[in-house]
């Protein structure tokens, strides 16, 4: 019977706790033993109480909780081999032979590295005398399965990452609130939204809130964007609009990759269009709060599938990542998905924006 551990890593996202609940319960329902690793990879390195056996009722109510109830961290020690060696030793100590990781692309890349290094880590534990050969016999292979938890929706090969629709909902709600005050004063608001290098949140929020202009990193505006934006906004005002909303993704830039900041946009709207303008940075409000129904469903279905993938894996199976494609839960090759994701950033760096726009869904 497998002994399966789950951890959350990188920035938290709504639905991560629901994913942990699903992994724990599907593990138990399959007759296996479930563990939760607290504080991300740091918990693996620290071992002891940070790796806790989980029972059915330990995750009661977690489906509707925001953030991640087992904690997350950006762990420096795990980035170095000695940290991963200690982590491997702690896992063998607890008899864990499979790991489900819910995180962003960085966290999942770390997971795959851990898996590929695993046989040599076990070897080193034996040769250094930390473990006896017979103790590691059952731990020659490590199964890793990825779940993508991120508000950014920035991983290729999946239509949605766990948390992105909750975050989008929060952004829309916030912009609706801003709309009311903007309308009252006939003001303009420049709203900065999260997304790191990915414009999905900004684009979707802009469309769903009827923004006047949207800036995203994958599709920067033309060289004459300042004039273009002012002309469009003046036109909207001339048509009778009482408010102006411009959404700026935090990673926005122009076609020569010079950052476009909310402050730059505000100055233009004030000085060139003559609008009373304010900037609102939504910040971490976008990341907290309970998951929406879609994210609860996504996390639950994907958590169940992650455990099934562990139970069906062979040492030869490449690490899978559980995705949602056209409303179906599917397994994809984790490293291939990460490679496609990285290609988008490379296209942007090379200023090949046409490819950047296609990139994330490319197969």
Q: Which parts are annotated binding residues for Mg(2+)?
A: 105
Is there binding between residue 196 and ligand F6P (CB under 6 A)?
yes
Stretch that binds ligand F6P, among 94-102, 106-114, 129-137, 149-157 (CB under 6 A): 149-157
Contacts of 117 (CB under 8 A, 6+ apart): 81, 84
Q: Is there binding between residue 320 and ligand F6P (CB under 6 A)?
A: no
Q: What is the DSSP letter of 36?
A: E
d(CA 241, CA 234): 10
> 48-107: which residues touch ligand F6P (CB under 6 A)?
104
Which tokens sit at 254? 């122009």
Q: Which stretch binds ligand F6P (CB under 6 A): 136-144, 147-155, 235-243, 265-273?
A: 147-155
- Numbered residues of the known binding site for ATP: 11, 74-75, 104-107
Does residue number 150 form part of the binding site for ligand F6P (CB under 6 A)?
yes
By C-beta, is 30 or 281 nearer to ligand F6P? 281
Asked about 112 being catalytic, the answer comes back as: no
Instruction: Name the binding residues for substrate.
Output: 150-152, 187, 194-196, 250, 278, 284-287
If you write DSSP's letter for every residue of 196-252 in order, what string do you get? TT--HHHHHHHHHTT-SEEE-SSSPPPTTHHHHHHHHHHHHHHTT---EEEEEETT-
Per the annotation, binding residues are 11, 74-75, 104-107, 150-152, 187, 194-196, 250, 278, 284-287
Residue nearest to ligand F6P (CB): 194
Judged by beta carbon, residue 152 or residue 212, the one nearer ligand F6P is: 152
Instruction: Name the residue among 63, 57, 91 with its Cα closest to residue 304.
Output: 63
Minimum distance, C-beta of residue 342 to ligand F6P, in the bound complex (Å):
15
Tell me which of 152, 192, 218, 295 binds ligand F6P, using CB under 6 A: 152
d(CA 135, CA 52): 21
- Does 341 bind ligand F6P (CB under 6 A)? Our answer is no
Q: How many other C-beta atoms lie within 10 A of the C-beta of residue 263?
A: 12
* Closer by beta carbon to ligand F6P, 214 or else 307: 214
Interaction with ligand F6P in 246-275: which residues (CB under 6 A)?
250
14 binds ligand F6P (CB under 6 A): no
Query: Please, what is the minimum distance in Å from the beta carbon of residue 13 to ligand F6P?
Result: 7
CA distances from 158 to 147, 232, 260, 305, 327 (A): 10, 34, 28, 14, 10
For 359, the token pair is 């990139």
Residue 287 found at the interface with ligand F6P (CB under 6 A)? yes
C-alpha span between 114 and 90 (Å, rounded): 14
Stretch that binds ligand F6P, among 132-140, 144-152, 326-334, 346-354 (CB under 6 A): 144-152
3-state helix, strand, coil in the chain (%, to 5): 50, 15, 35
Tokens for 55, please give them: 């029972």
Contact residue for ligand F6P among 102, 194, 260, 275 (CB under 6 A): 194
- First and final C-alpha spacing in the chain: 35
**46, 97, 152, 295: the active-site residue:** 152
Q: How far apart are CA 3 and CA 326, in angstroms?
A: 32
Q: Could you tell me how many residues of this chain bind ligand F6P (CB under 6 A)?
A: 10
- Strand locations in the chain (E): 3-8, 33-37, 51-54, 98-103, 143-148, 188-193, 213-215, 244-249, 277-281, 320-325, 328-333
Give me the residues paired with residue 189 across strands.
245, 278
Binder to ligand F6P among 2, 5, 11, 89 (CB under 6 A)? Answer: 11
Minimum distance from residue 11 beta carbon to ligand F6P (Å):
4
We find the least distance from the C-beta atom of residue 65 to ligand F6P, in angstroms, to be: 18
- Per CB under 6 A, residues contacting ligand F6P are 11, 104, 150-152, 194-196, 250, 287
Residues with active-site annotation: 152
């Amino acid at each position: 019977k497998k002994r399966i551990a789950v951890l959350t890593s990188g920035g938290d996202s709504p639905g991560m706790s629901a994913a942990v609940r699903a992994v724990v319960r599907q593990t138990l329902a399959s007759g296996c033993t479930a563990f939760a690793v607290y504080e991300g990879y740091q918990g693996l390195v620290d071992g002891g109480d940070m790796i806790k056996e989980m029972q059915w009722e330990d995750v009661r109510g977690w489906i509707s909780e925001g953030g991640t109830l087992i904690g997350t961290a950006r762990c420096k020690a795990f980035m170095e081999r000695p940290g991963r060696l200690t982590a491997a030793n702690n896992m063998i100590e607890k008899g864990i032979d499979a790991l489900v990781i819910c995180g962003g692309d960085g966290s999942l890349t770390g997971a795959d590295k851990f898996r590929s290094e695993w046989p040599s880590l076990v070897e080193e534990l034996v040769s250094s005398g930390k473990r006896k050969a017979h103790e590691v016999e059952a731990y020659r292979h490590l199964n890793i399965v990825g779940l993508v938890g991120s508000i950014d929706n920035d991983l290729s090969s999946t239509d949605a990452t766990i948390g992105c629709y909750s975050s989008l909902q929060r952004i829309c709600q916030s912009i609706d609130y801003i709309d009311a005050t903007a309308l009252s004063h006939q003001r303009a608001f420049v709203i900065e939204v999260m997304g790191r290098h990915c414009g999905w949140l900004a684009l979707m929020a802009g469309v769903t809130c009827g923004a006047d202009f949207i800036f995203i990193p994958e599709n920067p505006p033309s060289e004459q964007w300042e004039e273009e934006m002012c002309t469009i906004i003046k036109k909207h005002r001339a048509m009778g609009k009482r408010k102006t909303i411009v959404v700026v993704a935090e990673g926005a830039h122009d076609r020569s990759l010079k950052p476009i900041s909310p402050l730059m946009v505000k100055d233009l709207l004030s000085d060139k269009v003559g609008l009373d303008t304010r900037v609102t940075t939504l910040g971490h409000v976008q990341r907290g709060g309970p998951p929406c129904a879609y994210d609860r469903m996504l996390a639950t279905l994907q958590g169940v599938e992650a455990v099934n993938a562990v139970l069906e894996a062979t040492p030869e199976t490449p690490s899978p990542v559980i995705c949602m494609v056209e409303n179906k839960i599917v397994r994809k090759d984790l490293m291939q998905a990460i490679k496609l994701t990285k290609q988008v950033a490379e296209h942007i760096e090379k200023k090949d924006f046409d490819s950047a726009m296609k990139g994330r869904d490319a197969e």
